[in-house]
Chain A
Amino acid sequence: MAQESLITDEVRAAIGVETVSPPELVEMKAIKDYARAINWPDPPNPLHVDEEYAKKTRFGGIIAPWCFYTTLGRSAPRQRVPLPPARVGMNGGNDYEYFLPIRPGDMITTTSKIVDIVEREGRAGKLIITTSERTFTNQNGEVVGIAHGTGLSQY
């Protein structure tokens, strides 16, 4: 390959660096909006929107939808990766581990890190595959879940 790799030492240095978000309040409205959106146009799962219903379940109250992890950690300081801007960025995959439910009023801290950055020669040009990990911890210090993610950047 005559072309130079986009993965320089500076890019590689971003791997493994942890960033921590300020604790983030899980709002009831955010839970309900999310639950409605993932079921639309069907009615949402009452476990996420109906306190009376949820109280009678083993959860004892409203909990967030499991995939609510997508919303968390946005306020985390952005890990600077010195790559040129991609033509298009895409989500390559999500892999979520669920340990404990997230509840309205929880204060969630997200610890993020890049696990690996690799380069491929795709059909349409260079492809950078970034794998990352976000660990979610609640106000009691309990790890509620881990999100493994794959990001694709097309050049």
Chain B
Amino acid sequence: MAQLFWDDVEIGMEIPPYKKAVTLMELNRYAGANEEYVLIHMDRDYSQKVARLPDVIVMGNLKYAYLSNMMINWIGEEGTLKRLSAQYRGMDIPGPALSTEPTMICKGKVTNKYIQDGDHCIECEVWTETNEGQVTTPGSAIAILPARS
């Protein structure tokens, strides 16, 4: 993928969306890699009957990882992610097994660009949306990009 340069970024510019079909497979794989064995991410009975949730829910840490994937894919290898924050405000429910239909979409847009201590910085608003367009994970990001000049 072509490298993104600071010069070519404008305030208001949209980050290419990152879509994900999240199923229990993705949750289980992440639970293993992150040693995050928490029942509300694993067991539907527990989620509904004990935790009183509508279903198993996608772990916040995995939604964070997807937002970071979106940023890393966009800023490229010469870009440097400096800060990324995400707030888990709403629930994301995994889709059916083997489904390839996206259940969530990471989106973002550029809110600021500036030069600080010689670094060419950008700030972005980022978030995840459900298929119904509900924002479940608002956040923000700061990155340093290479400059052409």
Residue positions of A touching B, CB distance < 8 A: 30, 33-34, 36-41, 45, 47, 57-58, 65-67, 70-71, 74, 87-88, 90-98, 124, 148, 150
Residue positions of B touching A, CB distance < 8 A: 25-26, 29-30, 32-36, 40, 50-53, 59-62, 64-66, 68-69, 72, 77-78, 80-88, 139
Looking across the interface, which residue of chain A has its beta carbon closest to that of B60?
Answer: A91
Contacts of B68 in A (CB 8 A): 38, 65-67
A37 touches B87 (CB 8 A): no
CA distance A63 to B81 in the complex (A): 14
Interface of A is mostly: mixed
Further pairs besides A47-B77, A66-B72: 7, Cβ < 8 Å: A45-B72, A65-B68, A88-B50, A93-B60, A95-B85, A97-B83, A98-B82
Closest 4 pairs between A and B when the two form their complex, measured CB to CB = A95-B85, A37-B33, A91-B60, A38-B65
Contacts of A95 in B (CB 8 A): 83-86
Contacts of A98 in B (CB 8 A): 80-84
Would you give 16 A-B contacts (Cβ < 8 Å), ordered by A?
A30-B33, A37-B29, A37-B32, A39-B69, A41-B25, A58-B77, A67-B64, A71-B34, A74-B35, A88-B40, A90-B60, A90-B88, A91-B59, A91-B61, A92-B60, A95-B86
B51 touches A88 (CB 8 A): yes
